[in-house]
Structure 1
Amino acid sequence: MSDVLEQLRQRLETQLEFIYRDIATVSDYPGIAEALISAMGLNEKAYEMSEPVAYQNHWSQQDVVLITYGDSLEKRRSRSSQQACLSGEQEYGFSDMDGDVGLAEKPLKTLKRFLDERCKEVINSVHILPFYPYSSDDGFAVINYSAVNESLGGWPDINAIAEDYRLMADLVINHCSSRSIWFDNFIKGEGPGHDFFFTADPEADTSKVVRPRTSPLLKEVETANGTQHVWCTFSHDQVDFDFTNPKVLIEFVWIIRLYLDNGVRLFRMDAVAFLWKILGTSCLNLEETHEVVRLLRSLIEHAQPDAVIITETNIPNRENLAYFGNANEAHCVYNFSLPPLLVNTLVTGSCHYLKQWMMSMPPAQHGTAYFNFIASHDGIGLRPAEGLLEDQELNTLISTMQSFGGRVSMRALDDGQNKPYEINISLFDALQGTTKGPDRWALDRFICAHAIMLALEGIPGVYIHSLLGTRNDYDKLKHTNHNRSINRHRWDVEALEESLDDPLNDHHKVFHRIKALLKIRTRQQAFHPNATQFTLHLGDQLFGFWRQSMDRRQSIFCIYNISDEPQPLALSEVNLIGLDRWHELISGEEITDLAQEMMLAPYQALWITNMLDS
């Protein structure tokens, strides 16, 4: 037996003893550890393994993640082709080869081609949101973790994307679909998965439980073993797993192994903060949850040293940061406070709160990084702004977003009241104006937001609908009656490409301006996710920070006018070193007079550096 494998086994046993210390029925820690090692396939490669290198960065300034659904882009048949397929099926009995007469090919193939033809020079990673068979929540109620949704494609399509891009996939670890075979077996009281789900007495005190929804927590289910009340953190179609049963943990390690074998290298642990439940507590961020993440990290990094765990925890900032652990838990955490703070900054014209937050954020240790995003398939979370924005500021933000066509989703409090949980709106519409109303600066404001996000310490994640400048989808919202649908548009790829090729079209302008920023970003060592960052103090209308490369050779001063009025910038206040030659990266202009006062147009961004194309 290799020394590395034996050390891992001992570590797993220690972690398991901590996780299950209060579970009387669990005591076979060596047996569970061996089952986990077997599920990850580590026995077969025991003598190839080496101890993972601590504090190692698995990323660089070249890493940019595109976030997309597998079917955000669709190649649709012409109306005549659709009619021909329908006629053929009716007359001759054959079915459409793609399973949908409206599509000319599987969406994962469409996505791959779009990435290759339009994005490859600036995007090296792609997060495909849940691509498994599902029953609701656009993929997050998983029916089968081991399959690819046939309407999207198959494992070969996933493999093809993973060959050319670093692939990020969701590990939907807190819950699964009520239509899964596991839940069917729970109802039958026998078979695989029959004991995978968390139940509770409806008379138990659950008043402290923190949830992101307003639906009842428990779902009454008739089973072969009588009436059961199943825990449902999110919806009654999303039933929570019971991780006090070690078989659930072992099953998820099998799933992780399958994903690794199919090219997944970035694991987004969906809703992981809710994983462990103890009655009488908040059932959020419990220490057992953190230990499970550490245990999965131990297994993953031994199996695939360059794999990365990213925790998705839409919670207040301090609790979110705890998932870094001591650089031994998540490699990356979603920077959930950034979207509400940045949108608030740009619609109010003041960076006061954003700057306060920036100064309070600890630099990520080597081996960890922030995952920065300003738009996603979900909404603009409001819990991460708790303690960072005052109530009046939040109320103004919400009312402004509603005036721009946004919706507000609620969560239940322990006193029976409901409270705003997230704002649902496309980012382009969210930034169409200020608290004063829509204005003519929408495009520049939108690009400014991305120029800020792309320069910040961390790895940037760009939502496909931000890259394309997609607007609110009211038709989909009306069809689903689900607030999040407003920002989950499905593009006809041919119509999209016509827009992207038209220089007068806003989609073209957004796409090419963001790509131009990405091309610059990926060449700058000072934009490494772990490069030094300091906040500049330039007043409330100019937001700025300084980045310095880890070898200290390159500096970039990132300065933004976040208001709808021109703002003066005295370069003497920025403290540019006179011995260096300074250039502004976005315009490409050289700065020769370090004593000059520049006038920044509304929402203008400056990236001032002492080195070009480092």
Structure 2
Amino acid sequence: MNQYNLHQEITKACDKHKLAIAGADKYFYIRLVANALTLQELFFTIYGNHNAGSTQFLALIENLIIGHKQRSIELQQKDQAKANQGVWFLSNQIAGMSLYVDRFAGDLKGLPTKLAYLKKLGVNFLHLMPVFESPAGESDGGYAVSDFRKVDARFGNMEDLKNVQKNMQEQDMFLMIDIVLNHTSHQHEWAKKAKAGETEYQDYFYMYNDRQIPDQFEHTMPEVFPESAPGSFTYVKECNKWVMTVFHNYQWDLNFTNPAVFNAMLNNILFYANLGVDILRIDAPAFIWKQLGTTSQNLPEAHTLLRLIKQCVHIASPGMAILGEAIVAPKEIMKYFGTEAFTAKECDVAYNATQMAVQWDALATGDTRVMLAAQEDLQQKPLGTTWITYTRCHDDIGLG
């Protein structure tokens, strides 16, 4: 649609949800209007040929408005305070720690009692390993999510998580949690409905009646876990179909060629933003777009989707930054910060996996030449983005 029609639709949606565009909702409205054309361009680059593209784009606009309306006054004030700092996550005063809640504090209720200890250590940023519901024995460490909005009972409940965030905010600490965009558990509500034969939800996944298309995909797709989870498709006896399962057979890949899937996952992203999450770690972003005849990794459309997510977050919850967990070669990682017109407008933060590896190499060998040689590539990071320079994380590979 042209610019006039686009703004007409925005005005209609704002009126429907009773936004005070000259009052309390003014800054949201300014961000929405200022970025509307970019939002439309990115969305229709992906979904322009989809039958539901136009309808789902209007749904996207409404989702942003609803996400904004659900954002508390306190979080909106925090957004403004961060904006006043400039690019807040570039601060060299942030020192972080990644932890398993149950192993560190027993559960979420116990975590606030540990914050004073962490502050004493100089830690003011916490990455909580996955705490949302995932089936026992099929959790992949919490990365096979069966409910994106329910805390797993072994960690506590949603009120406990909100209390952790509240306590951290009071102590000027930052919170990072994960969202798994690429897949859900086969026990997720969408997957259960797909198994039951509901076509709408079968379209949320890559599901096929026979092996013809799966075989074509597997001809060029490398196996992620060839020994423990060979192949990239699993037979589902309940509905007599094959479903894409790139990681494990209990993790069903979401079909982002369907704009309804994008909107559904965007709603989860905004839900996390409105919990007060400061940095959202997007797990395995390299895998979110699949295409026959390719490796289905690091494809241009994956970057377009991430840019679209970044635009949406900037509009509805501008204080939340995006980390892309792309553990790929340095020159590939750079692309996740954005390129060309979208430089520094994709992922805000990335793991400095190269530095992690070369610093251990230097420690083991006593030779810093490899580490120093890597710095030229690492310094090409765009202005306005940052590395997380770290020592180890939960799924690093070793030096061999």
- Same fold per TM (> 0.5)? yes
**Per-residue displacement from partner, 1:331-388 (whole Å, max 9, x unpaired)?**
111112122222222112211211110133224333200111221111326xxxxxxx
1:261-272 superposed matches below 5 A: 261-272=274-285
* 1:344 match: secondary structure: helix
The alpha carbon displacement at 1:204 in A equals: 1.7
Identity %: 26
CA shift in 2, pair 1:373/1:199, >3 Å = farther
1:240 equivalent in structure 2: 253
1:58-98 Cα offsets, whole Å, 9 max, x none, are: 121211121012212255xxxxxxxxxxxxxxxxxxxxxxx
Please state how far the C-alpha of 1:150 moved relative to its aligned partner: 1.3
- Picking from 44, 47, 57, the partner of 2:87 is 57
Q: What amino acid maps onto 2:220 in structure 1?
A: K
Shift of 1:212: 2.7
What secondary structure sits across from 1:71 in the alignment? helix
Counterpart amino acid of residue 368 in structure 2: C
Equivalent in the alignment of 1:145: 148
Provide the C-alpha distance between the structure 1 equivalents of 2:199 and 2:218, rounded to a whole number of angstroms: 30
Does residue 16 of structure 2 align to residue 16 of structure 1? no
Give the drift of 1:197. Answer: 0.8
Q: Contact 1:208/1:282 (CA < 8 Å) preserved in 2?
A: yes
How far apart are 1:124 and its partner, in Å? 1.2
Residues 1:126 and 2:126 are matched in the alignment: yes
Q: Deviations over 1:81-138 (max 9, x none)?
A: xxxxxxxxxxxxxxxxxxxxxxxxxx11223212223445511111111100112111
Matched with 2:18 is none
Q: In the aligned structure 2, how far is the partner of 1:119 from the partner of 1:43?
A: 31
Task: Confirm or deny: 8 A CA contact 2:330 2:378 kept in the other structure.
Answer: no
Q: Which residue of 2 aligns with 1:110?
A: 110
Q: State the shift of 1:286 in Å.
A: 1.2
The 3-state SS of whatever aligns with 2:381 is coil
Partner of 1:504: none
Pairing partner for 1:334 from 348, 351, 355: 351
Work out the CA distance in 2 between the residues paired with 1:42 and 1:209: 42
Read off the aligned partner of 1:378 and give its amino acid letter.
D
Gaps of 5+ in 1: 76-106, 382-396, 399-614
Q: Tell me how far apart the structure 2 counterparts of residues 198 and 318 of structure 1 sit (CA, whole Å).
A: 30
TM-score normalised according to structure 1 size: 0.53
**Cα distance, 1:275 vs. partner?**
0.1
Residue in structure 2 matched with residue 167 of structure 1 by the alignment:
175
Q: Which residue of 1 aligns with 2:369?
A: 352
CA shift for structure 1 position 43: 10
SS in 1 for 2:252: strand
C-alpha deviation, 1:32, in angstroms? 4.2
Q: Distance in 2 between matches of 1:29 and 1:74?
A: 42
Instruction: Say whether the 8 Å CA contact 1:170–1:267 is kept in structure 2.
Output: yes
Aligned counterpart, 1:178: 186
The 2-side partners of 1:120 and 1:26 are apart by 51
CA 205–162 in structure 1, closer or farther in 2 if over 3 Å, else same: closer
Distance 1:64 1:274, change over 3 A: same
CA, structure 1 residues 295+171, in 2 after alignment: closer, same or farther (shift >3 Å)?
same
**Counterpart contact for 1:188–1:194, Cα < 8 Å:** no
Distance 2:126 2:375 in 1: 27
Which residue of structure 2 aligns with residue 219 of structure 1? 234
Q: Does 1:364 align with 2:377?
A: no
The answer on whether the counterparts of 1:56 and 1:366 sit within 8 Å (CA) in structure 2 is no
Structure 2 residue identity aligned to 1:333 = A
Separation (CA, whole Å) in 2 of partners of 1:195 and 1:56: 42
AA aligned to 1:69 is Y
CA contact (8 A) 1:170 1:268 kept: yes
Q: How does 1:355-504 map to 2 (within 5 A)?
A: 355-380=372-397, 397-398=399-400
Q: CA distance change for structure 1 residues 263 and 313 in 2, over 3 Å: closer, same or farther?
A: same
Q: Which has the higher contact order (CA 8 A, sep 6+)?
A: 2
Q: CA-atom RMSD, angstroms?
A: 2.8
How many angstroms apart in 2 are the aligned matches of 1:54 and 1:111? 30
Question: Offset at 1:44?
Answer: 9.3
Q: 1:30 to 1:232 in 2, by over 3 A?
A: closer
Residue in structure 2 matched with residue 530 of structure 1 by the alignment: none
SS of equivalent to 1:305 = coil
Q: Tell me, what secondary structure is at the counterpart of 2:336?
A: helix
1:34-45 mapped onto 2 (5 Å cutoff): 34-41=61-68
Q: CA deviation at 1:54?
A: 12
> 1: distance between equivalents of 2:332 and 2:292?
20
Letter matched to residue 219 of structure 1: T
Is the contact made by 1:210 and 1:284 (CA closer than 8 Å) also made in structure 2? no
**Contact in 2 for aligned 1:35/1:250 (Cα 8 Å):** no
Please, what TM-score do these two structures have when normalized by structure 2? 0.79
1:320 aligns with 2:347: no
Distance 1:111 1:55, change over 3 A: closer
Residue number in structure 1 paired with 2:215: 203
Residue type at the aligned position of 1:187: K
Shift of 1:274: 0.2
CA distance in 2, matches of 1:138, 1:44: 30
The structure carrying a bigger strand percent of its residues is 1
CA gap of 1:146–1:140, structure 2 versus 1, over 3 A, is same
Equivalent position of 1:450 in the other structure? none
Give the deviation of 1:312 after TM superposition: 0.1
Match of 2:21 in 1: none
| Aligned residue in 2 for 1:230 | 243
Measured in 2, the distance between the counterparts of 1:298 and 1:330 equals 10
Letter in 1 for 2:87: N
- 2:103 maps to a residue whose letter is S
Q: Is the 8 A contact 2:125 2:175 kept in 1?
A: yes
CA shift, 1:293, in A, is: 0.8
Q: What's the CA shift for 1:277?
A: 0.5
Is this contact kept in 2: 1:39–1:253, CA < 8 A? no
CA distance, structure 2, for counterparts of residue 317 and residue 21 of structure 1 = 32
- Change in Cα spacing, 1:4 to 1:361, as seen in structure 2 (3 Å) is closer
Checking the alignment, whether the CA contact within 8 Å between 1:335 and 1:373 is kept in structure 2 is: yes
Of 190, 194, 197 in structure 1, the residue corresponding to residue 198 of structure 2 is 190
User: Would the alpha carbon gap of residues 322 and 42 (structure 1) be closer, same or farther in structure 2, given more than 3 Å must change?
Assistant: farther
Q: For the pair shown, which has the larger CA radius of gyration, 1 or 2?
A: 1
1:206–1:280 Cα contact (<8 Å) kept: no
Going from structure 1 to structure 2, the CA distance change for 1:56 and 1:287 (only over 3 Å counts) comes to farther
